[in-house]
Structure 1
Amino acid sequence: MNKTKTELNSVKKLVLHVLEQYPETRNSDNKLYIQCAKELGAETIDDLMKIKLNIISVHKCRQVIQNKLGKFLPDKEVEEVRAERQLTFKDWMINI
């Protein structure tokens, strides 16, 4: 298994743990990332550079867990906002 796959599997396990233990992180990638960083020992902004936790990897793992596995789902309102933003973003990308 290559380095990236190993990293993503580790991040997925971390994200699963955080989503299960901290329900408030299910609605916000920012809160999810911060809590994941804390779980890895980060206490300051400088610590974020040391732990090398990629915010995009956390986001993508959250998407897989919620959208494909159907686990630890966000509130309905958040789900609706995300769906709307996804359509708006796709439309925006087509027109740039």
Structure 2
Amino acid sequence: MFSITVNAIGNILAKQGIIAFNVANLNTKGYKEIDLNNKKHKIAMTSDNNQNNVNLTKQIVYSNMNLIDLKANVAVLKSQNKMLGSLINLKI
């Protein structure tokens, strides 16, 4: 029961790491952002082209969506914890 929620939180944190990596490379010449919507996360790439394709607005939106997802999953985890405590008659 808890493993699904814990895995979801782990995935959210992994996505946040990718967002942070993209933002950190905002001014790196030739950097190609890692697309969170791509199911097969590509390794960050650079090219000889001096421009990069990091869209800061999109990264902020992704970060905010991750925060909402994280809060929801933490609330689920707390509820699961409370229900389990009630089932075995313990206060957690």
TM-score, normalised to structure 2, is 0.32
Bigger share in helix? 1
